[in-house]
Structure 1
Amino acid sequence: MRTDSIAFRLGGLFALVALGVFVVIGGALYRQVDKSLDILPNAELEARYSVLESAITRFGDPEHWARLHNKLNLLSEEDKRLHFWVVSGDPAYEYGQPDAATRGLANGPLGIHDWQRPDGTPLKVLVSTLPGHDQRPALRFLIGIDVDNVRQTHHDLAMALIGCAALGVLLASALGYWVARIGLRPLRRVSRQAQQLAPPKLSGRLRPSHLPPELEQLVEAFNAALERVEGAYQRLESFNADVAHELRSPLTNLIGQTQVALTRGRSAEHYFEVLQSNLEDLERLRNIINDMLFLARADQGDRARNLVTSSLAEEVAASLDYLDFILEDAGVSVRVSGDAQVRVERSHLRRALTNLIHNAAQHSQPGQVIDVTVLAEGEYVSVAVSNPGPPIADEQLPLLFERFYRADAARYNEGGNHGLGLAIVKAVASLHGGSVFARSGGGENTFGLSLPVTGHVA
């Protein structure tokens, strides 16, 4: 039995609850019985005193006092628990051979007291005073009753209560563990179902039928998590295939061209052309690797650090200057409207803006106009890049920001594009605490990002 199991913990909780209940109830019961046991010797002392008071009061001469001695001796012999003392200024009218401790008690306050004799016997003692009569002077009359049996009863009761509490706690913990095991059977069934799910077979789902409502919620949440994991696993498989494809092409070119160049002697001019072609493929590999490292840092929750306040219109203009020759070759123009001040890391932002405008230029026809709109909306500012183009299905729009995803299933690499441009835009937005968006309609396709005005937003 594992001590960290839910059943074991529930059994322990049952034991704690039972212990608390037993302590409260047992304590209350013990106090009530203790009070009742204390009343009994007090009542007996008062009853004995009421019987003897009149006799002692009547005996005022030595002859009658001797008869009182005989009566007290007889009572002491009949009940060994009883003890009698009479303390007086005249030794002839004393009884019980009172010692110094007894005299000290007799000369103290009247009433019932707890007292322990020098030999250790615990007593309840009633101390009373009687006025003088005839030849007898005033005296102190003490009646004691041995309460050792009462104390023993207290002890036995306490031990019985502790024993019952211990047994009850053990029984409650055992029953609690048993009940918990029965109650957790549906959870064990769910666990066995979950153990059967493993990559790449993630399409299975847990069955929520015949389960308690609490487990139904857990199963629904688990199934939803499985759907997300399955989607992530599928994207990972696709991502791995895309990475292999993107890296394989330039590597194949590098190997092939190098092997051909080494088959026989070549001119210096031919080697120069081969090295120049290899350099292009190596630069493409470097760009892919750099982009993947950048995306990996964004995935790890990194944040832009070197934030400065900048004009978005100026950042768009700087990106357009960088893309001047590409836009000229594509035969498209760009129209910019709106402006806003935001805190950004300029190098990251310009990279995202360049990718958005480059993406729009790649999907525009010569002579068309690309619109870049900067719009402030509360705590966020959006930059939307729109270009004329055929409509994109709604289900594809959010996927266009995934790595290596293209709406066209056919792979192509126009302009050296390796399918990470929009994914980098999404990463830049995430680094700044923002988001991305995509819209298609009215003959236009719009891609953009939203950034917080004041920097990172939690």
Structure 2
Amino acid sequence: MKRAITRRLAGMFALAALAAYSLVGAVLYQVLDRELTAHQDDELRANLQNTAYSIAHVADAERWARVQTRMDAMTPADGRVRFWVLSDDPRFQYGKGLDAFERFSQEGDGAGRIVLPENHEGFRTLSQHIAPLGDRPAVRLIAGIATAPFAHTLRKFLSALVVVGLGATVLVTLLGYWVARVGLRPLVQLSNEAQGLRPRLLSQRLPTADLPAELSDLAQAFNGALGRLEEAYQQLEAFNADVAHELRTPLANLIGGTQVALSRERSAPEFQEALQSNLEELERLRSIVNDMLFLARADQGEAATGLVDTCVADEVAKTIEFFEFVLDEGGGTVDTEGDREARAPLDTALFRRALSNLLQNAIQHAPPGSRLAVAITPRDGALWVAVRNPGAPIAPEHLPRLFDRFYRVDPARHDSGGHHGHGLGLAIVKAVARMHGGSVAADSQGGTTTIAFSVALGA
């Protein structure tokens, strides 16, 4: 992968350099072309003016011979500059290849171009009409300069541009490749460090001290992901251990009770008693499995459906009524406080399940004859339902983890009775709150523990 990135960067350097050199070369070529053309025009204009002045003062054939001699002197041996005089009188004609001027093309302002048989690249020309004087009729003076030397200069310049541009592009490509390799070296080192990570060494982290700022941010983000992965892995291990522990107890009870029942001959009532005990353990197993399936669906983002605008106090009253027998047996009472008219969109079955878990938890941890309370409080776009009970205080370090699965403040205490004695009750409360767009909270001070959950009023 690093080679591909290096080559890609080198290729980008090459394309950028080629584009830059091509643009600069095109501009320089156009500038040189304009300068050479301007030089040709200046030279043509000077020759044309000087010669036209001489011809304009010639009135007879005798003096015309002197003008021809002067034009011969102004014509160099290589024929780069030439003159032609066109006239109806053959005595006042001048120049080689006059027949070609039958195809002579003239542009505006006396500018033109002509191609002679011996010169395929042709001449750039300027012409001027000269009025008659004496015996001399009106003539047309044409001054021409060969374009071949200038075209040759342009070709040489273009060839030099191409060679220099390609050479510079190759050089920039090589330098770009080297720069990319040097620049990506920290990334290679970071990749090597990442490859050295092992599943059994989840505490390993990538070094960030000597990395560039961009890679340092990447390494820190990666280390953060490793930290979250380590935490999730540890939670998963603890969760698996807790699940195994919770399932092991009822399974052991089932196996033990069955073995005792089968150890000797027993009467039908004795077998019925053993089956009844096994049924209780099977019900507990089913409860654990159902709760785990519910939490798994909640973890996948499942939201509460079939929401109905409901009076929350009515649902609280119905849930408390369900616990009347347990409360009477322990001598406890439950008061409802707060806004009795508050309404919220609820899945009533899930709401009662969450509140039942809170009430059961409060009853289990409150002294006999305690006075419990359920408070209904709208706040910040949510409706909070809090259950208070007197009891032993909970240390602050335990409060954030009360809603974790299988978490117990006292690991030595194992309540094997009850529907939610396996440690998933408060986890289900948190799941129900999340499914209603709410959250959970816990507080313990002054001998009173308060555990609450909320539902969104706009859910």
Q: Return the TM-score normalized by structure 1.
A: 0.88
Contact 1:387 1:445 in 2 (8 A): yes
1:51 maps to what in 2? 50
Question: What is the alpha-carbon root mean square deviation over aligned residues?
Answer: 2.8
Map 1:304-453 onto structure 2 (within 5 A).
Answer: 304-339=304-339, 340-416=342-418, 417-453=421-457
2:138 maps to what in 1? 138
The DSSP-based 3-state class of the residue aligned with 1:121 is strand
1:220 aligns with 2:224: no
1:25 maps to what in 2? 24
Map 1:247-326 onto structure 2 (within 5 A).
Answer: 247-263=247-263, 265-326=265-326
Q: Which amino acid is the alignment partner of residue 338 of structure 1?
A: G
Contact 1:330 1:362 in 2 (8 A): no
Contact 2:80 2:146 in 1 (8 A): yes
1:258/1:105 CA distance change after superposition, 3 Å: same
Contact 1:10 1:177 in 2 (8 A): yes
Map 1:137-176 onto structure 2 (within 5 A).
Answer: 137-176=137-176
Partners of 1:318 and 1:164 in 2: how far apart? 91
Partners of 2:120 and 2:315 in 1: how far apart? 100
Report the more deviating stretch, 389-398 or 195-204.
Answer: 195-204
1:78 maps to what in 2? 77
1:174/1:310 CA distance change after superposition, 3 Å: farther
1:48/1:277 CA distance change after superposition, 3 Å: same
Partners of 2:347 and 2:85 in 1: how far apart? 105
Map 1:54-133 onto structure 2 (within 5 A).
Answer: 54-66=53-65, 68-69=67-68, 72=71, 76=75, 78-95=77-94, 96-99=96-99, 102=102, 105-106=105-106, 109-113=108-112, 121-133=121-133
Contact 1:109 1:127 in 2 (8 A): no
Contact 2:386 2:452 in 1 (8 A): yes
1:180 aligns with 2:175: no
Contact 2:114 2:125 in 1 (8 A): yes
The gaps in structure 1 that reach 5 residues or longer are none
1:158: Cα distance to partner? 3.5
Report the more deviating stretch, 388-397 or 28-37.
Answer: 28-37
1:104: Cα distance to partner? 5.2
1:241: Cα distance to partner? 0.4
Partners of 1:396 and 1:272 in 2: how far apart? 43
1:149/1:230 CA distance change after superposition, 3 Å: same
1:188/1:36 CA distance change after superposition, 3 Å: same
Report the more deviating stretch, 291-300 or 11-20.
Answer: 11-20
Contact 2:48 2:127 in 1 (8 A): no
Partners of 1:328 and 1:88 in 2: how far apart? 139
Partners of 1:203 and 1:143 in 2: how far apart? 90
Partners of 2:230 and 2:157 in 1: how far apart? 65
The DSSP-based 3-state class of the residue aligned with 2:423 is coil
The DSSP-based 3-state class of the residue aligned with 1:251 is helix
1:233 aligns with 2:237: no
Contact 2:114 2:123 in 1 (8 A): yes
Deviations along 1:148-205, whole A, 9 cap, x unmatched? 3323433443343344334333333332332232233333333333333333321233
1:338/1:110 CA distance change after superposition, 3 Å: same
Contact 1:88 1:94 in 2 (8 A): yes
Report the more deviating stretch, 55-64 or 329-338.
Answer: 55-64
Partners of 1:435 and 1:257 in 2: how far apart? 42
1:77: Cα distance to partner? 5.9
1:388: Cα distance to partner? 1.3
Contact 1:310 1:342 in 2 (8 A): yes
Contact 2:60 2:134 in 1 (8 A): yes
Q: Which amino acid is the alignment partner of residue 195 of structure 1?
A: Q
Identity %: 46
Q: Return the TM-score normalized by structure 2.
A: 0.88
- The number of residues matched between the two structures is 453
Partners of 2:195 and 2:413 in 1: how far apart? 38
Partners of 1:212 and 1:26 in 2: how far apart? 37
The DSSP-based 3-state class of the residue aligned with 1:126 is strand
The DSSP-based 3-state class of the residue aligned with 1:343 is strand
Deviations along 1:408-428, whole A, 9 cap, x unmatched? 122513433111111111112
